[in-house]
Amino acid sequence: MSLELASTRAELDRLPARHRDARAAVRQRAPDGPGPDGPEPVTAARTAVVMTMGALHDGHAALVRAARAHVGPAGSVVVTVFVNPLQFGAGEDLDRYPRTLESDLKTAEAAGADAVFAPSAEEVYPGGTPQVRISAGPMGERLEGAARPGHFDGMLTVVAKLLHLTRPDVAFYGQKDAQQLALIRRMARDLNFPVEIVGVPTVREDDGLALSSRNRFLSATERRTALALSRALFAARDRLGAQHALGARAESAPTSDARAAALSALGEARAAADAHAVAHAASRTPQARGWGAHAVRSAARVVLDQAVRDSPSFTLDYLALVDPADFTEVPDDHTGEAVLAVAARVGRTRLIDNIPLTFGASQ
Protein backbone atom coordinates (compact mmCIF):
# COMPACT_ATOMS: atom_id res chain seq x y z
CA MET A 1 0.00 0.00 0.00
CA SER A 2 1.36 3.42 -0.96
CA LEU A 3 2.20 6.14 1.53
CA GLU A 4 -0.63 8.48 2.51
CA LEU A 5 -0.17 12.23 3.06
CA ALA A 6 -2.42 14.13 5.43
CA SER A 7 -2.32 17.82 6.29
CA THR A 8 -5.41 18.10 8.52
CA ARG A 9 -6.87 16.22 11.46
CA ALA A 10 -9.86 15.16 9.34
CA GLU A 11 -7.61 13.66 6.68
CA LEU A 12 -5.53 11.93 9.32
CA ASP A 13 -8.60 10.43 11.00
CA ARG A 14 -9.58 8.69 7.77
CA LEU A 15 -6.23 6.94 7.37
CA PRO A 16 -6.21 4.28 10.14
CA ALA A 17 -9.41 2.67 8.87
CA ARG A 18 -7.88 2.24 5.43
CA HIS A 19 -4.75 0.77 6.97
CA ARG A 20 -6.76 -1.71 9.01
CA ASP A 21 -8.77 -2.74 5.95
CA ALA A 22 -5.61 -3.30 3.96
CA ARG A 23 -4.25 -5.57 6.71
CA ALA A 24 -7.46 -7.34 7.67
CA ALA A 25 -5.93 -10.65 6.64
CA VAL A 26 -3.15 -10.35 9.20
CA ARG A 27 -4.36 -12.17 12.30
CA GLN A 28 -2.32 -13.10 15.35
CA ARG A 29 -3.35 -15.91 17.68
CA ALA A 30 -3.10 -15.09 21.38
CA PRO A 31 -0.68 -17.44 23.23
CA ASP A 32 -3.44 -18.96 25.39
CA GLY A 33 -6.35 -18.36 23.02
CA PRO A 34 -9.06 -20.82 21.94
CA GLY A 35 -8.17 -23.90 19.95
CA PRO A 36 -8.93 -24.51 16.26
CA ASP A 37 -12.62 -25.16 16.98
CA GLY A 38 -13.12 -21.76 18.61
CA PRO A 39 -12.85 -18.25 17.16
CA GLU A 40 -9.33 -17.08 16.51
CA PRO A 41 -8.60 -13.97 18.61
CA VAL A 42 -7.16 -10.99 16.79
CA THR A 43 -4.57 -8.75 18.39
CA ALA A 44 -5.58 -5.12 18.00
CA ALA A 45 -3.44 -3.23 15.52
CA ARG A 46 -1.25 -0.61 17.19
CA THR A 47 -0.31 2.83 15.92
CA ALA A 48 3.18 4.29 16.28
CA VAL A 49 4.21 7.87 15.66
CA VAL A 50 7.61 9.31 14.77
CA MET A 51 7.71 13.08 15.23
CA THR A 52 10.11 15.10 13.07
CA MET A 53 10.67 18.60 11.78
CA GLY A 54 11.39 17.20 8.33
CA ALA A 55 14.69 17.17 6.44
CA LEU A 56 14.68 13.42 7.10
CA HIS A 57 17.95 11.49 7.14
CA ASP A 58 19.05 7.96 8.09
CA GLY A 59 18.57 8.74 11.77
CA HIS A 60 14.88 9.46 11.17
CA ALA A 61 14.65 6.38 8.96
CA ALA A 62 16.00 4.29 11.86
CA LEU A 63 13.17 5.61 14.04
CA VAL A 64 10.60 4.65 11.42
CA ARG A 65 12.10 1.18 11.04
CA ALA A 66 12.05 0.72 14.81
CA ALA A 67 8.41 1.80 14.89
CA ARG A 68 7.50 -0.60 12.10
CA ALA A 69 9.26 -3.50 13.84
CA HIS A 70 7.44 -2.65 17.07
CA VAL A 71 3.89 -2.53 15.70
CA GLY A 72 4.39 -5.25 13.11
CA PRO A 73 2.73 -5.59 9.71
CA ALA A 74 -0.75 -5.16 11.17
CA GLY A 75 0.05 -1.83 12.82
CA SER A 76 0.27 1.69 11.47
CA VAL A 77 3.27 4.02 11.47
CA VAL A 78 2.67 7.75 11.14
CA VAL A 79 5.50 10.24 10.62
CA THR A 80 4.78 13.86 11.49
CA VAL A 81 6.59 16.65 9.67
CA PHE A 82 6.17 20.04 11.30
CA VAL A 83 8.70 22.83 11.86
CA ASN A 84 7.43 24.09 15.19
CA PRO A 85 7.83 27.87 15.58
CA LEU A 86 7.28 27.70 19.35
CA GLN A 87 10.62 25.99 19.97
CA PHE A 88 12.73 28.52 18.08
CA GLY A 89 13.91 31.60 19.94
CA ALA A 90 14.79 35.03 18.62
CA GLY A 91 17.81 34.87 16.32
CA GLU A 92 17.62 31.10 15.87
CA ASP A 93 17.37 29.30 12.54
CA LEU A 94 13.58 28.93 12.07
CA ASP A 95 13.62 30.51 8.60
CA ARG A 96 16.84 28.72 7.70
CA TYR A 97 15.67 25.29 8.83
CA PRO A 98 15.42 23.04 5.74
CA ARG A 99 11.99 22.15 4.31
CA THR A 100 12.23 19.09 2.04
CA LEU A 101 8.77 17.50 2.06
CA GLU A 102 9.01 15.67 -1.28
CA SER A 103 12.26 14.00 -0.22
CA ASP A 104 10.83 13.34 3.24
CA LEU A 105 7.89 11.44 1.79
CA LYS A 106 10.23 9.12 -0.11
CA THR A 107 12.42 8.54 2.94
CA ALA A 108 9.44 7.82 5.18
CA GLU A 109 7.87 5.39 2.71
CA ALA A 110 11.15 3.53 2.11
CA ALA A 111 11.60 3.11 5.87
CA GLY A 112 8.13 1.60 6.33
CA ALA A 113 5.78 4.46 7.20
CA ASP A 114 2.11 4.26 6.27
CA ALA A 115 1.35 7.96 6.47
CA VAL A 116 2.96 11.36 6.81
CA PHE A 117 1.09 14.03 8.71
CA ALA A 118 2.40 17.41 7.55
CA PRO A 119 0.08 20.04 9.02
CA SER A 120 0.33 23.79 8.60
CA ALA A 121 0.97 26.09 11.55
CA GLU A 122 -2.69 27.12 11.32
CA GLU A 123 -3.77 23.49 11.71
CA VAL A 124 -1.59 22.93 14.77
CA TYR A 125 -2.20 26.34 16.33
CA PRO A 126 -5.66 27.49 15.24
CA GLY A 127 -6.16 31.07 16.29
CA GLY A 128 -2.44 31.80 16.43
CA THR A 129 0.11 31.40 19.19
CA PRO A 130 -1.46 29.39 22.03
CA GLN A 131 -2.07 31.23 25.28
CA VAL A 132 -1.78 28.00 27.27
CA ARG A 133 1.43 26.00 26.96
CA ILE A 134 3.14 23.15 28.76
CA SER A 135 5.96 24.12 31.08
CA ALA A 136 9.06 21.95 31.03
CA GLY A 137 9.76 22.77 34.68
CA PRO A 138 13.23 22.78 36.27
CA MET A 139 14.65 20.12 33.91
CA GLY A 140 13.71 22.34 30.99
CA GLU A 141 15.87 25.17 32.33
CA ARG A 142 19.12 23.16 32.31
CA LEU A 143 21.67 22.71 29.51
CA GLU A 144 19.68 23.14 26.28
CA GLY A 145 17.00 24.98 28.22
CA ALA A 146 19.53 27.45 29.60
CA ALA A 147 21.06 27.96 26.16
CA ARG A 148 17.65 28.26 24.47
CA PRO A 149 15.14 29.75 26.94
CA GLY A 150 11.59 28.60 26.27
CA HIS A 151 12.71 25.94 23.79
CA PHE A 152 11.47 22.97 25.78
CA ASP A 153 8.15 24.62 26.65
CA GLY A 154 7.52 24.99 22.94
CA MET A 155 8.72 21.46 22.22
CA LEU A 156 6.50 19.84 24.86
CA THR A 157 3.51 21.91 23.75
CA VAL A 158 3.74 20.68 20.17
CA VAL A 159 4.50 17.10 21.23
CA ALA A 160 1.38 17.12 23.41
CA LYS A 161 -0.71 18.49 20.55
CA LEU A 162 0.67 15.97 18.05
CA LEU A 163 0.05 13.12 20.48
CA HIS A 164 -3.59 14.28 20.72
CA LEU A 165 -3.86 14.63 16.94
CA THR A 166 -2.28 11.28 16.03
CA ARG A 167 -3.46 9.31 19.09
CA PRO A 168 -0.68 6.69 18.98
CA ASP A 169 -0.13 3.73 21.24
CA VAL A 170 3.62 4.27 21.13
CA ALA A 171 5.90 7.15 20.13
CA PHE A 172 9.54 6.91 19.05
CA TYR A 173 12.22 9.54 19.67
CA GLY A 174 15.97 9.62 19.13
CA GLN A 175 18.49 9.36 21.96
CA LYS A 176 20.53 12.06 20.22
CA ASP A 177 18.12 14.60 21.73
CA ALA A 178 18.51 13.02 25.16
CA GLN A 179 17.17 15.92 27.21
CA GLN A 180 14.15 16.20 24.93
CA LEU A 181 13.51 12.47 25.30
CA ALA A 182 13.77 12.69 29.10
CA LEU A 183 11.30 15.59 29.19
CA ILE A 184 8.80 13.83 26.93
CA ARG A 185 8.95 10.77 29.15
CA ARG A 186 8.42 12.95 32.20
CA MET A 187 5.48 14.76 30.60
CA ALA A 188 3.83 11.49 29.59
CA ARG A 189 4.24 10.17 33.13
CA ASP A 190 3.30 13.34 35.02
CA LEU A 191 0.29 14.19 32.83
CA ASN A 192 -0.93 10.61 32.32
CA PHE A 193 -0.61 10.48 28.55
CA PRO A 194 -1.77 6.99 27.47
CA VAL A 195 1.27 6.40 25.27
CA GLU A 196 4.46 4.36 25.50
CA ILE A 197 7.63 6.40 24.87
CA VAL A 198 10.52 4.56 23.22
CA GLY A 199 14.05 5.91 22.76
CA VAL A 200 16.18 4.81 19.80
CA PRO A 201 20.02 4.96 19.83
CA THR A 202 21.81 7.74 17.98
CA VAL A 203 22.73 7.01 14.37
CA ARG A 204 26.18 8.19 13.28
CA GLU A 205 28.18 8.66 10.14
CA ASP A 206 31.09 6.28 9.60
CA ASP A 207 33.45 8.85 11.11
CA GLY A 208 31.32 9.22 14.25
CA LEU A 209 29.44 12.46 13.54
CA ALA A 210 25.87 12.20 14.84
CA LEU A 211 23.32 12.55 12.07
CA SER A 212 21.48 15.87 12.17
CA SER A 213 19.40 17.86 9.72
CA ARG A 214 21.69 20.80 10.50
CA ASN A 215 24.82 18.96 9.29
CA ARG A 216 23.98 20.13 5.77
CA PHE A 217 24.85 23.67 6.83
CA LEU A 218 28.48 22.72 7.58
CA SER A 219 31.25 23.41 5.10
CA ALA A 220 33.79 20.64 4.51
CA THR A 221 36.20 22.30 6.94
CA GLU A 222 33.50 22.87 9.56
CA ARG A 223 32.39 19.26 9.28
CA ARG A 224 35.91 18.07 10.14
CA THR A 225 35.92 20.46 13.09
CA ALA A 226 32.52 19.17 14.22
CA LEU A 227 33.99 15.70 14.72
CA ALA A 228 35.44 17.02 17.99
CA LEU A 229 32.03 16.48 19.61
CA SER A 230 31.88 12.74 18.99
CA ARG A 231 35.63 12.30 19.57
CA ALA A 232 35.25 13.91 22.99
CA LEU A 233 32.39 11.60 23.89
CA PHE A 234 34.26 8.53 22.71
CA ALA A 235 37.38 9.57 24.64
CA ALA A 236 35.31 9.80 27.80
CA ARG A 237 33.69 6.42 27.13
CA ASP A 238 37.08 4.82 26.51
CA ARG A 239 38.51 6.34 29.69
CA LEU A 240 35.66 4.92 31.72
CA GLY A 241 35.99 1.53 30.04
CA ALA A 242 39.73 1.41 30.69
CA GLN A 243 39.26 2.25 34.36
CA HIS A 244 36.57 -0.38 34.73
CA ALA A 245 38.85 -2.96 33.11
CA LEU A 246 41.72 -2.03 35.43
CA GLY A 247 39.40 -2.23 38.42
CA ALA A 248 38.16 -5.67 37.38
CA ARG A 249 41.74 -6.91 37.17
CA ALA A 250 42.54 -5.37 40.53
CA GLU A 251 39.65 -7.21 42.13
CA SER A 252 40.41 -10.58 40.57
CA ALA A 253 44.19 -10.77 40.16
CA PRO A 254 46.41 -11.79 43.15
CA THR A 255 48.81 -8.99 42.29
CA SER A 256 51.00 -7.30 44.87
CA ASP A 257 53.58 -4.57 45.09
CA ALA A 258 56.11 -7.27 45.96
CA ARG A 259 55.51 -9.02 42.63
CA ALA A 260 55.84 -5.71 40.81
CA ALA A 261 59.15 -5.01 42.57
CA ALA A 262 60.42 -8.49 41.66
CA LEU A 263 59.55 -7.99 38.01
CA SER A 264 61.31 -4.64 38.05
CA ALA A 265 64.44 -6.24 39.52
CA LEU A 266 64.44 -8.76 36.68
CA GLY A 267 64.34 -5.98 34.14
CA GLU A 268 60.72 -6.56 33.09
CA ALA A 269 59.91 -2.85 33.11
CA ARG A 270 56.68 -3.01 31.12
CA ALA A 271 55.26 -5.95 33.11
CA ALA A 272 56.38 -4.28 36.34
CA ALA A 273 54.60 -1.04 35.44
CA ASP A 274 51.44 -2.99 34.68
CA ALA A 275 51.66 -4.88 37.96
CA HIS A 276 52.22 -1.63 39.85
CA ALA A 277 49.11 -0.13 38.23
CA VAL A 278 46.94 -3.11 39.16
CA ALA A 279 48.29 -3.22 42.71
CA HIS A 280 47.75 0.52 43.09
CA ALA A 281 44.17 0.22 41.79
CA ALA A 282 43.44 -2.62 44.19
CA SER A 283 44.46 -0.51 47.15
CA ARG A 284 42.31 2.52 46.36
CA THR A 285 38.65 3.48 46.27
CA PRO A 286 36.91 3.61 42.88
CA GLN A 287 37.03 7.41 42.93
CA ALA A 288 40.73 7.46 43.81
CA ARG A 289 41.38 5.04 40.98
CA GLY A 290 40.09 7.63 38.53
CA TRP A 291 36.70 6.09 37.91
CA GLY A 292 34.83 9.16 38.99
CA ALA A 293 32.86 11.63 36.95
CA HIS A 294 35.74 14.10 37.07
CA ALA A 295 38.03 11.75 35.15
CA VAL A 296 35.40 11.16 32.47
CA ARG A 297 34.70 14.87 32.06
CA SER A 298 38.44 15.55 31.88
CA ALA A 299 38.98 13.05 29.07
CA ALA A 300 36.30 14.76 26.99
CA ARG A 301 37.49 18.24 27.92
CA VAL A 302 40.99 17.55 26.56
CA VAL A 303 39.56 16.88 23.10
CA LEU A 304 37.23 19.89 23.18
CA ASP A 305 39.92 22.27 24.44
CA GLN A 306 42.14 21.17 21.56
CA ALA A 307 39.32 21.87 19.10
CA VAL A 308 38.94 25.38 20.50
CA ARG A 309 42.68 25.98 20.05
CA ASP A 310 42.76 24.50 16.54
CA SER A 311 39.70 26.20 15.07
CA PRO A 312 38.38 29.72 15.63
CA SER A 313 35.01 28.55 14.27
CA PHE A 314 34.51 26.13 17.20
CA THR A 315 32.80 27.54 20.29
CA LEU A 316 31.95 25.20 23.15
CA ASP A 317 28.56 25.80 24.75
CA TYR A 318 28.60 23.14 27.45
CA LEU A 319 29.96 19.76 28.48
CA ALA A 320 27.92 18.07 31.20
CA LEU A 321 27.73 14.64 32.82
CA VAL A 322 24.17 14.32 34.06
CA ASP A 323 21.62 12.03 35.62
CA PRO A 324 19.30 10.91 32.78
CA ALA A 325 16.27 11.24 35.07
CA ASP A 326 16.52 14.99 35.66
CA PHE A 327 19.66 16.23 33.85
CA THR A 328 21.38 17.45 37.00
CA GLU A 329 25.16 17.08 37.19
CA VAL A 330 26.26 13.83 38.82
CA PRO A 331 28.80 13.83 41.71
CA ASP A 332 32.26 12.33 41.37
CA ASP A 333 31.23 9.23 43.31
CA HIS A 334 28.23 8.58 41.04
CA THR A 335 27.32 4.99 40.24
CA GLY A 336 24.72 3.87 37.74
CA GLU A 337 23.45 5.47 34.54
CA ALA A 338 24.57 8.87 33.27
CA VAL A 339 24.54 10.90 30.07
CA LEU A 340 27.56 12.83 28.86
CA ALA A 341 26.18 15.71 26.79
CA VAL A 342 27.97 18.31 24.70
CA ALA A 343 26.86 21.31 22.65
CA ALA A 344 28.98 23.58 20.47
CA ARG A 345 28.70 26.06 17.66
CA VAL A 346 30.71 25.35 14.53
CA GLY A 347 30.60 28.43 12.38
CA ARG A 348 26.92 29.46 12.29
CA THR A 349 25.65 25.96 13.08
CA ARG A 350 24.88 24.78 16.59
CA LEU A 351 25.27 21.03 17.18
CA ILE A 352 24.51 18.74 20.11
CA ASP A 353 25.54 15.19 20.90
CA ASN A 354 25.60 12.81 23.85
CA ILE A 355 26.48 9.30 24.91
CA PRO A 356 25.02 7.10 27.67
CA LEU A 357 27.49 5.80 30.25
CA THR A 358 27.25 3.36 33.13
CA PHE A 359 29.47 3.95 36.18
CA GLY A 360 30.43 1.02 38.38
CA ALA A 361 29.86 -1.70 35.75
CA SER A 362 31.90 -3.39 33.05
CA GLN A 363 31.66 -1.57 29.72
Catalytic annotation, pick one of 19, 57, 60, 151:
60
Is 294 a residue of the active site? no
Per-residue HEC secondary structure of the chain comes to CCCEEECCHHHHHHHHHHHHHHCCCCCCCCCCCCCCCCCCCCCCCCEEEEEECCCCCHHHHHHHHHHHHHHCCCCEEEEEECCCHHHCCCCCCCCCCCCCHHHHHHHHHHHCCCEEECCCHHHHCCCCCCCCCCCCCHHHHCCHHHHCCCHHHHHHHHHHHHHHHHCCCEEEEEHHHHHHHHHHHHHHHHCCCCCEEEEECCCECCCCCECCHHHHHCCHHHHHHHHHHHHHHHHHHHHHHHHHHHHHHHHHCCCCHHHHHHHHHCCCHHHHHHHHHHHHHHCCCCCCCCCCHHHHHHHHHHHHHHHHHHCCCEEEEEEEEECCCCCCECCCCCCEEEEEEEEEEECCEEEEEEEEEEECCCC
Which residues are designated catalytic? 60
